[in-house]
Amino acid sequence: MKKEKGQFFKDVYEVVKLVPYGRVTSYGAIARYLGASGSARMVGWALNGAGKYPSVPAHRVVNSKGILSGRAHFGSSDEMKNQLEAEGVKVKGDKITNFAECFWDPGTELL
């Protein structure tokens, strides 16, 4: 059992993979769940490496405003939006219109 230096990254991936189909979560919610509340940036930075992990539905992670802030990191600008809409998430431009309906907080609902 060895401690890997990217432990934070790993934790983020695990939580993101727990996001149910048709649901989304925010960077801050994940950060808070990991005990890194306030360090939401770390979650975003961690997801920067999530592209190497196809099991990590990074497209289900948006900022607190329900905006697809990370869409630019996907293959295409519409990739993230496309996948969210495919799961029943209503996306208008770069924002989730039914954000409150599909929002999933790991520290609240997963608990």
Partner DNA sequence: CTTTTGACGGGGG
Partner DNA sequence: TCCCCCGCCAAAA
Q: List contacts with DNA (CB under 7 A).
A: 5-9, 26-29, 31, 36, 38-45, 47-51, 58, 61, 63-65, 69-70, 72-73
| Least gap, CB of 88 to DNA (angstroms) | 20
CB 63 within 8 A of CB 69: yes
Distance from the first to the final alpha carbon of the chain: 27
Q: How far apart are CA 2 and CA 6, in angstroms?
A: 11
Closest CB 17 distance from DNA, rounded Å: 13
CA distances from 77 to 2, 26, 30, 54, 82 (A): 38, 19, 24, 18, 9
